[in-house]
């Protein structure tokens, strides 16, 4: 039985999968060929672009003492001029090669950008997620670090009195004399610019002296001045340390023990919304900082609010916050700070799992169930899995936290792969909010629009009591379909075949899957009927309705359309905290992490929006979303209540969410998943094939899946193969798509089968078909 937690750590070669990792790069010649081979120092190098390698290169003598796994090198590759940048993954000082190897041309960093543990992690990710190691290196080390963004190379000159004796100086030209005297007096290296300003000369005399060998020079990389290191952190929240509740103390004790034991351990902190999980994280980090260790805290990108940052920045001297709106120079600067060991806590989204802390003591993943921890481009890694792999190789614990843990993590606590810590109650004896379900199938003739009578009344009462409301609707835009009532034509994206969403600002019809955008047609493009209808509800339309219903309330909308500009998030949230906004409506952006005591009402406009997706996680996602947004209320002394509008009030996920019953939901859902061996019971991989021509794409999809079937039969692995078939999004950005879903009780055989089947699978360039392998997919569309 293998699942998310039961994987082979990158540093050990046990288990079938990990030991085969060696084969992956094993290019050793048969022994009889070695006799003739000469001993040379060999480096194995991988590339981020095709061909990805690995290829062997000879290490020139001068580089022998510096080169290490993790070093970047420039090497000759094919006929490319100027060489190609690659990553060294292995060095063998007494290597043997059958034929003469080409030499490494240049070693690019004095110190490798990746330490040995991170190199092992790269190789593990490359193996498990079936991605080229060179690409994984590029993911691990941000491009701003690779290009040393925000720094400059500067040349410093120095004068040695032994070379520049008084006699020699006296024989120089007047300008050169002046330069020499300044440098001799300075007793410290100076740049050409500094010298020429002091002397009042051009840089020419400096260059001449240097050429004569009278000055020595060195090049240094320096940071540009004017770096901003901190941004505004105050969102108006005043907070002090708390006296821990009993369950907080118990959880903390376990975490501290795990940290002190210096052993790998996965802990799941299951704490209801408002139970004070963040306080537990902070205390745990305060403890390990005493041992000179640091921590990584991963949060979903949209939870990286000023509130989250503020809570950590108030409690620690040295925090690095990584976020998507950093400039390359800032990102590089923070990376260097982290690597130097001066940072105690790194907070960031999934890529922060790679933060190069030299003495990492704990990795925390808050809201560990969140989908944003999985990367949706190559390498398609999940930060939780990578965190556990990294922790394994370092012998440190991982702390996962959530009110609605992923079933993978929950299952791990049932099988002994993770330890469960519980915060079953809210802090200060606060009650969980009451949840009322409103059955939207029952049409009340006084209900027009998206808001039911009970919800309307509740909003009115809340505003009357000077409380605040949160309204969740998980669709952005105005209308989600544009349809002709006469001929039935639906305006769709020409590249994706998906219905376009009408956006009222600017009258645009936009594709939410690609960047296609046109002016919304005033009449039907198919039959010219001029009464085209907008159907379906988006946040823009909801905003219009809310403003009309509650004309005296201040309303703000938060979705990715209104949150484009850096800082807009922070602006809305602090206006909400200060009470300037009465009703905050938006997409799932408002469902996460927010802690505002005056929110007395949460309304869910349509709880079913994700329930009927063709995805085995649909129920889980619905439960999580409703529970999380419900958790935004009842956080003050005035209590709170929740109204959930739904067309499926009897659905178990919605029922359980209305009772705040995570455990009940999880146990039932585990039984459902077992029927089909879906994760966490087994492993799943998805293969997506896309191409410009439908028939060719389908043919190649069938060919590839046929190979997988044959490999499975050859290896006698128990793998169920569904497809190839068109996925729900059967066209994307002008390409036809097919996918296949592979299921297996264990991840090792599944990975091995795909790897073997794909090894020599080449698609002729003229077919213009590509495929990707997605291990443990989160997205089925
Ligand atoms: P969660 O992440 O579990 O939903 P938070 O960490 O946001 O909860 O905490 C909810 C609120 O409770 C925060 O305002 C926090 O300051 C407060 N809090 C945390 N621990 C305690 C405590 N022991 N006593 C009183 N208040 C606390
Ligand atoms: Zn499109």
DSSP notation for 376-438: SSSS--BHHHHHHHHHHHHT-EEEEEESS--HHHHHHHHTTSSEEEEE-S-GGGPPPPEEEEE
Asked if residues 146 and 66 have their Cβ atoms less than 8 Å apart, the reply is no
Q: What is the mean pLDDT of residues 400-417?
A: 96
Indicate the pLDDT class of residue 5, thresholds 50, 70 and 90.
very low
Which candidate, 561, 635, 577, places its Cα nearest to that of 307? 577
Q: Which H or E element spans position 118? A: helix 116-128
pLDDT surpassing 50 at residue 17: no
Cα distance between residue 651 and residue 673, in whole Å: 16
**Residue 273 Cβ contacting ligand 1 at under 6 Å:** yes
Pocket test for ligand 1, best of 278, 402, 598 (most atoms within 8 A of CB): 278
Which pLDDT value is given to residue 608?
A: 87
Strand, coil or helix: 170: helix
pLDDT surpassing 50 at residue 383: yes
pLDDT in tens, 73-86: 999 988 777 789 99
Cα distance between residue 769 and residue 259, in whole Å: 49
Which pLDDT value is given to residue 76?
A: 92
Which candidate, 255, 251, 277, 247, places its Cα nearest to that of 401? 277
Q: Which ligand is nearest to the CA of 517?
A: 2
**Residue 279 Cβ contacting ligand 1 at under 6 Å:** yes
pLDDT in tens, 260-297: 998 899 999 999 988 999 999 999 999 999 999 999 99
> 10 Å Cβ neighbour count for 609?
19
Which pLDDT value is given to residue 104?
A: 93
Atom of ligand 1 nearest to the CA of 631: 4
- Residues 6 or more apart whose CB falls under 8 angstroms from that of 62 comprise none
Which pLDDT value is given to residue 152?
A: 74
pLDDT in tens, 590-602: 887 788 899 999 9
pLDDT surpassing 60 at residue 9: no
Which pLDDT value is given to residue 3?
A: 42
Which pLDDT value is given to residue 35?
A: 46
Rg over alpha carbons for the chain, rounded to the nearest Å, is 30
Which candidate, 455, 430, 439, 473, places its Cα nearest to that of 601? 455
Which candidate, 286, 258, 10, 245, places its Cα nearest to that of 127? 10
* Alpha-carbon torsion angle 731, 735, 740, 746, nearest 10: -110
Cα distance between residue 253 and residue 472, in whole Å: 37
**Residue 247 Cβ contacting ligand 1 at under 6 Å:** no
pLDDT in tens, 431-466: 889 999 999 888 765 567 889 999 999 999 999 999
State how beta strands 38-46 and 55-58 pair. antiparallel
**Residue 310 Cβ contacting ligand 1 at under 6 Å:** no
Indicate the pLDDT class of residue 570, thresholds 50, 70 and 90.
confident
Q: What's the 279 CA to ligand 1 centre distance in angstroms?
A: 6
Which pLDDT value is given to residue 750?
A: 95
Chain length of the chain: 781
Q: What's the 641 CA to ligand 2 centre distance in angstroms?
A: 39
Strand, coil or helix: 55: strand
Indicate the pLDDT class of residue 513, thresholds 50, 70 and 90.
confident
Is the peptide bond prior to 753 cis by the omega test (within 30 degrees of 0)? no
Q: What is the mean pLDDT of residues 35-42?
A: 70
Atom of ligand 1 nearest to the CA of 244: 23
Q: What's the 417 CA to ligand 2 centre distance in angstroms?
A: 42
pLDDT surpassing 90 at residue 411: yes
Which pLDDT value is given to residue 668?
A: 95
Asked if residues 609 and 475 have their Cβ atoms less than 8 Å apart, the reply is yes
Exposed / middle / buried, residue 766 (Cβ in 10 Å: 0-12, 13-18, 19+): exposed
pLDDT surpassing 60 at residue 37: no
pLDDT surpassing 70 at residue 4: no
Q: What is the mean pLDDT of residues 754-768?
A: 91
State the average pLDDT for the chain. 87
Exposed / middle / buried, residue 547 (Cβ in 10 Å: 0-12, 13-18, 19+): middle
Q: What's the 764 CA to ligand 2 centre distance in angstroms?
A: 27
Which candidate, 536, 455, 471, places its Cα nearest to that of 498? 536
Which pLDDT value is given to residue 151?
A: 74
Global pTM value: 0.85
Q: What's the 522 CA to ligand 2 centre distance in angstroms?
A: 20
CA distances, 374 to each of 17, 91, 253, 519 (Å): 22, 32, 30, 34
Atom of ligand 1 nearest to the CA of 366: 2
pLDDT in tens, 700-754: 999 999 999 999 999 999 999 998 999 888 889 889 999 999 999 999 999 999 9
Cα distance between residue 52 and residue 64, in whole Å: 24
pLDDT surpassing 60 at residue 117: yes
What backbone phi and psi angles, to 5 degrees, belong to 95? -80, 165
pLDDT surpassing 70 at residue 653: yes
pLDDT in tens, 351-363: 999 999 999 999 9
Indicate the pLDDT class of residue 525, thresholds 50, 70 and 90.
confident
Q: Which ligand is nearest to the CA of 425?
A: 1
| Share above pLDDT 90 across residues of the chain, in percent, rounded to a whole number | 52
| Share above pLDDT 70 across residues of the chain, in percent, rounded to a whole number | 92
> 10 Å Cβ neighbour count for 181?
15
Residue having the nearest C-alpha atom to atom 12 of ligand 1: 276
């Amino acid at each position: 039985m293998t699942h998310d937690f039961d994987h082979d750590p990158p540093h050990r070669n046990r288990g079938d999968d990990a030991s085969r990792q060696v084969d992956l790069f094993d290019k050793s010649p048969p022994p009889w060929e070695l006799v003739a081979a000469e001993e040379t120092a060999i480096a194995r190098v991988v590339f981020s672009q095709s061909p990805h390698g690995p290829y062997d290169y000879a290490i020139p003598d001068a580089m022998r003492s510096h080169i290490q796994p993790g070093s970047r090198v420039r090497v000759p590759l094919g006929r490319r001029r100027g060489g190609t940048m690659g990553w060294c993954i292995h060095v063998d000082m007494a290597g043997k090669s059958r034929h003469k190897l080409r030499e490494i041309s240049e070693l690019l960093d004095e110190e490798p950008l990746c330490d040995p543990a991170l190199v092992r992690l790269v190789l593990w990710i490359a193996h498990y997620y079936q991605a080229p190691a060179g690409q994984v290196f590029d993911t691990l080390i941000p491009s701003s670090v690779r290009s040393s963004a925000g720094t400059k190379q500067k040349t410093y000159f120095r004068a040695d009195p032994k070379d520049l004796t008084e006699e020699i100086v006296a024989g120089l030209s007047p300008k050169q004399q002046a330069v020499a005297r300044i440098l001799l007096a300075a007793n410290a290296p100076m740049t050409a610019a500094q010298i020429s300003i002091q002397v009042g000369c051009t840089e020419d005399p400096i260059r001449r002296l240097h050429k004569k060998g009278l000055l020595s020079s060195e090049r240094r990389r320096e940071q540009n001045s004017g770096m901003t290191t901190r941004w505004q952190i105050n969102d108006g929240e005043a907070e002090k340390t708390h006296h821990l509740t009993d369950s907080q103390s118990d959880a903390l004790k376990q975490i501290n023990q795990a940290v002190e034991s210096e052993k790998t351990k996965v802990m799941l902190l299951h704490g209801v919304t408002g139970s004070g999980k963040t306080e537990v994280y902070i205390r745990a980090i305060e403890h390990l900082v005493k041992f000179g260790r640091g921590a990584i805290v991963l949060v979903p990108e949209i939870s990286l609010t000023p509130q989250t940052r503020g809570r950590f920045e108030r409690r620690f001297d040295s925090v690095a916050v990584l976020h998507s709106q950093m400039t390359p120079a800032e990102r590089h600067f923070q990376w260097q700070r982290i690597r130097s060991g001066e940072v105690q806590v790194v907070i960031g989204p999934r890529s922060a799992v790679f933060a190069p802390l030299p003495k990492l003591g704990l990795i925390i993943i808050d809201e560990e169930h969140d989908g944003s921890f999985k990367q949706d481009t190559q390498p398609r890694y999940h930060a939780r899995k990578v965190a556990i792999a990294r922790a394994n190789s370092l012998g440190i614990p991982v702390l996962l936290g959530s009110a609605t843990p992923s079933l993978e993590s929950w299952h791990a606590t049932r099988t002994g792969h993770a330890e469960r810590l519980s915060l079953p109650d809210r802090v200060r004896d606060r009650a969980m909010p009451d949840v009322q379900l409103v059955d939207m199938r029952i049409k009340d003739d006084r209900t027009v629009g998206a808001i039911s009578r009970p919800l309307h009344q509740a909003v009115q009462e809340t505003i009357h009591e000077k409380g605040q409301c949160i309204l969740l609707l998980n669709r952005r835009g105005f209308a989600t379909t544009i349809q002709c009532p006469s001929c039935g034509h639906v305006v769709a994206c020409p590249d994706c075949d998906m219905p376009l969403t009408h956006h009222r600002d600017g009258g645009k019809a936009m594709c939410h899957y690609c960047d296609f955008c046109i002016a919304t047609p005033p009449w039907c493009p198919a039959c010219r009927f001029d009464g085209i209808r907008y159907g379906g509800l988006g946040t823009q339309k909801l905003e219009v309705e809310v403003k009309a219903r509650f004309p005296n309330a201040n309303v703000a909308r938060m979705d990715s359309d209104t949150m484009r500009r850096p800082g807009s998030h922070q602006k809305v949230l602090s206006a909400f905290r200060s009470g300037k906004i009465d009703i905050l409506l938006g997409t799932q952006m408002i469902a996460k992490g927010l802690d505002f005591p005056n929110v007395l009402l949460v309304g869910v406009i349509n709880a079913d929006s994700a329930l009927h997706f063709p995805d085995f996680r649909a129920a889980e996602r619905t439960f999580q979303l409703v529970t999380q947004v419900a958790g935004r209320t009842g956080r003050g002394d005035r209590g709170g209540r929740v109204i959930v509008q739904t067309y499926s009030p009897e659905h178990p996920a919605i029922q359980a969410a209305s009772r705040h019953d995570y455990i009940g939901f999880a146990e039932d859902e585990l039984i459902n998943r077992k029927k089909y061996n879906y994760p966490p019971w087994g492993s799943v991989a998805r293969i997506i094939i896309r191409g410009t021509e439908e028939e060719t794409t389908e043919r190649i999809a069938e060919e590839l899946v046929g190979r997988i079937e044959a490999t499975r039969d050859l290896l006698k692995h128990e793998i169920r193969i569904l497809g190839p078939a068109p996925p729900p999004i059967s066209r994307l950005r002008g390409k036809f798509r097919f996918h296949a879903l592979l299921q297996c009780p264990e991840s090792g055989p599944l990975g091995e089968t795909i790897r073997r089947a794909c090894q020599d699978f080449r698609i002729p360039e003229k077919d213009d078909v590509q495929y990707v392998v997605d291990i443990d997919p989160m997205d089925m569309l």
